[in-house]
């Protein structure tokens, strides 16, 4: 028996119980839209010890290939524990970044790019 939190929504439970299982039904934990920067960011979150199952990975990979004529779209998996003192951000191309809380907030606010964070950490050498 699946617990009440398993589905994430009543619609997901309804789909699982009454619709075809020849498809994948997933909740996306978060999508951020920054109109001023013309950006859409899809984020699936996991606890540090959790993995994404095959269906989630496939769905996120497909989602990462969606394009919009005016907005840049991005898809990520964020691993960490609230209050996210540190977090790992993974894109669907196999890149990952270790972020501290301040940088995670800046990235979620669309104020910095992951590539800039990586460059900053790389320049720290072994001290990070």
Domain boundaries, the chain: 10-127
| Cα pseudo-dihedral 126, 84, 47, 55, rounded to 10 | -90
- pLDDT given at position 55: 86
pLDDT in tens, the chain (128 residues): 676 677 888 999 999 999 999 988 888 899 999 999 999 999 999 999 998 888 889 999 999 999 999 999 999 999 999 999 999 999 999 999 999 999 999 999 999 999 998 655 544 444 33
pTM of structure: 0.84
């Amino acid at each position: 028996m699946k617990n009440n939190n398993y589905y994430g929504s009543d619609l997901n439970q309804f789909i699982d119980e009454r619709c075809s299982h020849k498809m994948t039904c997933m909740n996306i934990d978060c999508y951020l839209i920054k109109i001023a920067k013309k950006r859409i960011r899809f984020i699936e979150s996991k606890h540090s010890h959790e993995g994404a199952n095959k269906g989630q990975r496939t769905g996120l990979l497909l989602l990462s290939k969606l394009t919009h004529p005016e907005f840049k779209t991005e898809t990520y998996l964020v691993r960490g524990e609230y209050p996210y003192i540190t977090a790992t951000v993974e894109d669907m191309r196999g890149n990952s970044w270790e972020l501290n809380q301040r940088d995670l907030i800046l990235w979620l606010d669309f104020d910095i790019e992951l590539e800039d964070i990586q460059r900053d950490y790389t320049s720290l050498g072994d001290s990070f």
